[in-house]
């Protein structure tokens, strides 16, 4: 059993009359990538800001490595690092100068700076001005900044926002390395399910300031289950093949068949259907965002205003 | 320890900015602008200065004047007073003509001639005096005056104190040949003598000669000090710029340069201070600091200290450049500052004095910087913080001038802006441009301690406000 390094107990927060967070409790363990899901406006960023003590909670206790962030602020901050909203650095200074500012505050030597730069694959570009960095590079520099002091808890707020697929993959690899090799607890918020599925060990779903679901993701990222939409002429025959040969559970909606399938098995299915003389009109992989699934679960988006 | 590290970081942050370096260049350029202005004044005034115009008196002029007085005296209808006046002038001019003395030149010969005529008209024997005039013997003249003084003491027409005072004056005149020859360069010595005389009179009678009010205890000390100071000036040949000729262009530069450059520095500092918190919040970099294990008050303190440090660096650079410019571009010696401490006259050299003067003049900047930081923290809007602070900085002088005209109540001295002019209080003997131009107003009559207390209270209130706001409000 690994140690709990981030603990939230009954955290609540109201802005004016609106209750933004309602009795949030969660535990994050060492070496765990913890996904924090929820639609926009569900309180993800507020939670993160409260954990990082950028804003004060109304009630509840937050402990980082056993230190209360309110009462033992300075000790707690020794073990935590985070990026909120955007990785904001001084644009007129070079990447390494930004890192050095932090390094001085935390008594970190040059060796560690190089180490971190290598980890986020920024070595070689560290002397350029931050203003000239691409968004991905900025994101990675922000990560380097938070990793400098070897935090036990790393908190990231929508880190993949605005990144291209290559950037997302790079970020994912870095986070996995940090969590699984160095034992850092990574707490990531996002509203994109696929993204979370690919890297998280555990996911909590937040809606309207309440945690509605906490789920361990057991299938490690290699076996990704995808939702695929099939459009064929002969629906009955297709359903039969899918059920008998692949033991799938297709959902039929008018002309469309929806299946949930591991990505690597999809070519076999298509091949089999083609061999069986089924006329395939289209095979459309569905990358569902959490919002869609979430609104389905909450009966067709009655919370649309949030 | 942590604060020191934060402080170093803040400084790195400031100095890495290109605009910081540009601002230093701008401040130094303002010094050169003042230099150009003073040089321009020198050029245009070169030909119009009174000292350069030699008034030539010809013998014919004197003869013509004598003729005029004689013709006037022939008039039967003249009243007694005018008649006496004309007769006196006639005699004086005749003596000028006889002994070849340049009239109306404020020299000791003029003084003596007038004295001789007066004595003559009173029926006294003037042989001895005429002899002195004939030989143009300045020392003899002083000796004669001393003799007269002794006589007055013996006759008990003057007091012991008055005797010794006047004797001191005569001794000084003799020693430094004051009034022996009249020229522009040594004119200041005469005014210094007048000042000593005035101070002696005030001390002797217990009534301030200038204000005609009874002397206070501290005024007494000031007067005694001023006598010592003025004697020191004569001893060491240090001209008093307050009374000297206005052809000292170095002095003009030294007075104008701080006024200009401190104004530029103030604006620069307000711009930087006005963005301390609000800029960091709008760019998000405040999180950079808030996510380090440092409590917020430490972050704030480091920011304030770095601004203070920046002010000190700017003022130091400016004052040093100012000294350098003055030494390179002006032929005159720099003015030294004299002051009296425990009855002893002390001297501050020009370089050190200039630097000190700059720093004293820069004290109000800290107050405006604090104001800007406070607005920046409260409003979180750089534009508001900077524009309000700059408006206050530029407008306060004029506003106070107007306000003080209308309100003469005692409480106006509690208004902080009435206490910002510290240079006249810390360097009371210095030549000050503002008081030369505007005169000393009611509000500046407060003491140094009072002004510092008012400034201190103001600073404290602003600090409390900004710390409270920064500590309690959410960082978003």
Q: Is A52–B291 a contact, with Cβ atoms under 8 angstroms apart? A: yes
Inform me whether the pLDDT recorded for A209 exceeds 70.
yes
Inform me whether the pLDDT recorded for B304 exceeds 90.
yes
Q: Is A58 on the interface with B (CB under 8 A)?
A: no
Of B9, B294, B476, the CB nearest to A101: B9
Q: Determine the pLDDT at residue B218.
A: 74
Average of per-residue pLDDT across B127-141: 79
Q: Determine the pLDDT at residue A302.
A: 47
Binning pLDDT at 50, 70 and 90, where does residue B434 land? low
In chain A, domain spans:
4-216, 225-291
User: Strand pairing partners for A211?
Assistant: A206
State the Cα–Cα distance between residues B135 and B137, nearest whole angstrom: 5
Which residue is associated with the tokens 């004051």?
A: B178
**Domain covering A4-216 assigned CATH 3.40.50.300 in the classification:** yes
Buried b (16+ CB within 10 A) or exposed e, B430-449: bbbbbbeeeeebebbebeee
ipTM given for this complex: 0.75
Q: Is B474–A55 a contact, with Cβ atoms under 8 angstroms apart? A: yes
Taking the CA atoms of A33, A34, A35 and A40 in sequence, report the sign of the dihedral they define.
negative
pLDDT digits 0-9 by tens, B349-401:
889 999 999 999 899 999 999 999 999 999 999 999 999 999 999 988 888 87
User: In which element (H, E) is residue A216 found?
Assistant: strand A210-216
Q: Is A104–B5 a contact, with Cβ atoms under 8 angstroms apart? A: yes
Pick B7 or B140 by higher pLDDT.
B7
Pick A255 or B285 by higher pLDDT.
B285
Q: ∠ CA(A80), CA(A84), CA(A87), 5° rounding?
A: 100
Q: Is B285 on the interface with A (CB under 8 A)?
A: yes
**Residue B102's closest CA among B141, B54, B50?**
B54
State the Cα–Cα distance between residues A8 and A61, nearest whole angstrom: 6
- CB < 8 Å to A101, chain B: 9, 12-13, 288
By residue count, chain A amounts to: 306
Looking at CA atoms only, how far is residue B21 from chain A in angstroms? 13
State the Cα–Cα distance between residues B61 and B320, nearest whole angstrom: 54
Q: Determine the pLDDT at residue A220.
A: 46
Q: Is A234 on the interface with B (CB under 8 A)?
A: no
**Residue B259's closest CA among B318, B334, B332?**
B318
**What φ, ψ does residue A57 adopt, rounded to 5°?**
-85, 160
Q: Tokens standing for B398?
A: 């004029």
Crossing angle (nearest 10°) for helices B249-273 and B382-406: 130
State the Cα–Cα distance between residues B423 and B366, nearest whole angstrom: 15
**Residue A245's closest CA among A226, A261, A269, A265?**
A269
**How far is CA B279 from its chain centroid?**
41
Q: Tokens standing for B130?
A: 């005429």
Three-state SS at B72? helix
State the Cα–Cα distance between residues A47 and A20, nearest whole angstrom: 9
Q: Is A78 on the interface with B (CB under 8 A)?
A: yes
DSSP letter (8 states) at residue B216: P
Q: Is A56–B17 a contact, with Cβ atoms under 8 angstroms apart? A: no
pLDDT digits 0-9 by tens, A160-207:
887 888 888 888 888 888 888 888 999 998 877 777 777 888 888 888
Q: Determine the pLDDT at residue B246.
A: 58
Q: What share of chain B in percent tops pLDDT 90?
A: 27
User: In which element (H, E) is residue A50 found?
Assistant: helix A44-51
Q: Is A84 on the interface with B (CB under 8 A)?
A: yes
Other beta carbons less than 10 A from residue A138's beta carbon:
20
Q: Determine the pLDDT at residue A221.
A: 43
Q: Determine the pLDDT at residue B445.
A: 67
> Tell me, which fold does domain A225-291 have in CATH?
Alpha-Beta Plaits (3.30.70)
Pick A30 or B175 by higher pLDDT.
A30
């Amino acid at each position: 059993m690994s140690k709990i390094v981030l603990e939230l107990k009954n955290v609540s927060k109201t802005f004016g009359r609106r209750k933004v967070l309602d009795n949030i409790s969660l535990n994050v363990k060492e070496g765990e990538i913890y996904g924090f899901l929820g639609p926009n406006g569900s309180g993800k960023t507020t939670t993160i800001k409260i954990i990082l003590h950028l804003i004060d909670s109304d009630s509840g206790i937050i402990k980082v490595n056993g230190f209360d962030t309110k009462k033992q602020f300075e000790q707690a901050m020794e073990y935590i690092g985070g990026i909120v909203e955007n990785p904001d650095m001084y644009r007129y200074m070079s990447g390494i100068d930004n890192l050095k500012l932090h390094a001085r505050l935390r008594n970190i030597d040059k060796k560690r700076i190089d180490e971190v730069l290598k980890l986020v694959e920024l070595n070689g570009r560290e002397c350029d001005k931050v203003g000239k960095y691409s968004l991905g590079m900025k994101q990675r520099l922000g990560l380097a900044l938070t990793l400098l002091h070897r935090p036990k808890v790393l908190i990231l707020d929508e880190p993949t926002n605005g990144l291209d697929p290559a950037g997302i993959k790079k970020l994912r690899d870095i986070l996995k390395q940090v969590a699984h090799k160095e034992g850092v607890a990574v707490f990531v918020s996002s509203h994109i399910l696929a993204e979370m599925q690919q890297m998280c060990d555990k996911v909590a779903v937040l809606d309207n300031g309440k945690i509605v679901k906490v789920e361990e993701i057991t299938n490690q990222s290699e076996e990704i289950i995808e939702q695929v939409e099939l459009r064929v002429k002969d629906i009955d025959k297709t359903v039969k093949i899918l059920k008998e040969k692949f033991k799938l559970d297709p959902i039929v909606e008018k002309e469309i068949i929806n299946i949930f399938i591991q990505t690597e098995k999809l070519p076999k299915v298509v091949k089999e259907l083609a061999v069986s003389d089924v006329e395939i009109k289209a095979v459309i992989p569905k990358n569902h965002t959490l919002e869609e699934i979430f609104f389905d679960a909450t009966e067709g988006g009655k919370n649309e205003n949030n | 320890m942590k604060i020191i590290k934060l402080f170093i970081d803040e400084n790195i942050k400031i100095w890495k900015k290109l605009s910081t370096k540009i601002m230093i260049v701008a401040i130094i350029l303002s010094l050169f602008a003042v230099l150009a202005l003073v040089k321009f004044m020198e050029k245009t005034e070169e030909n119009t200065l009174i000292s350069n115009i030699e008034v030539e008196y010809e013998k014919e002029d004197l003869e013509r004047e004598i003729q005029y007085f004689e013709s006037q005296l022939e008039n039967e209808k003249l009243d007694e007073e005018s008649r006496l006046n004309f007769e006196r002038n006639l005699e004086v001019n005749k003596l000028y003509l006889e002994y070849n003395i340049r009239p109306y030149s404020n020299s000791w010969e003029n003084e003596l001639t007038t004295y001789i005529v007066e004595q003559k008209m009173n029926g006294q024997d003037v042989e001895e005096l005429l002899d002195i005039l004939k030989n143009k013997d300045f020392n003899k003249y002083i000796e004669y005056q001393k003799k007269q003084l002794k006589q007055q003491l013996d006759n008990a027409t003057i007091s012991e104190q008055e005797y010794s005072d006047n004797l001191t004056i005569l001794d000084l005149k003799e020693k430094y040949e004051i009034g022996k020859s009249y020229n522009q360069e040594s004119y200041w010595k005469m005014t210094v003598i007048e000042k000593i005389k005035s101070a002696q009179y005030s001390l002797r009678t217990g009534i301030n000669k200038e204000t005609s009010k009874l002397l206070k205890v501290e005024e007494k000390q000031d007067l005694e000090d001023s006598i010592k100071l003025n004697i020191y000036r004569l001893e060491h040949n240090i001209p008093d710029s307050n009374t000297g000729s206005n052809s000292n262009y170095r002095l003009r530069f030294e007075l104008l340069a701080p006024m200009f450059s401190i104004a530029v520095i103030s604006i620069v500092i307000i711009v930087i201070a006005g963005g301390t918190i609000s800029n960091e919040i709008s760019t998000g970099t405040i999180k950079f600091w808030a996510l380090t294990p440092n409590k917020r008050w430490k972050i704030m303190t480091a920011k304030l200290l770095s601004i203070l440090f920046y002010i000190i660096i700017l003022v130091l650079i400016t004052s040093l450049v100012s000294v350098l410019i003055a030494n390179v571009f002006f032929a005159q010696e720099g003015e030294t500052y004299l002051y009296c401490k425990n009855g002893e006259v002390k001297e501050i050299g020009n370089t050190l004095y200039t630097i000190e003067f700059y720093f004293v003049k820069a004290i109000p900047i800290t107050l405006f910087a604090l104001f800007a930081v406070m607005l920046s923290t409260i409003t979180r809007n750089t534009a508001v913080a900077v524009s309000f602070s700059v408006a206050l900085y530029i407008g306060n002088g004029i506003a106070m001038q107007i306000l003080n005209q209308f309100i003469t109540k005692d409480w106006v001295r509690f208004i902080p802006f009435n206490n910002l002019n510290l240079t006249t209080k810390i360097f009371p003997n210095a030549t000050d441009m503002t008081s030369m131009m505007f005169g000393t107003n009611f509000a500046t009559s407060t003491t140094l301690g009072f002004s510092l207390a008012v400034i201190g209270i103001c600073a404290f209130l602003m600090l409390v406000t900004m710390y409270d706001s920064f500590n309690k409000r959410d960082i978003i």
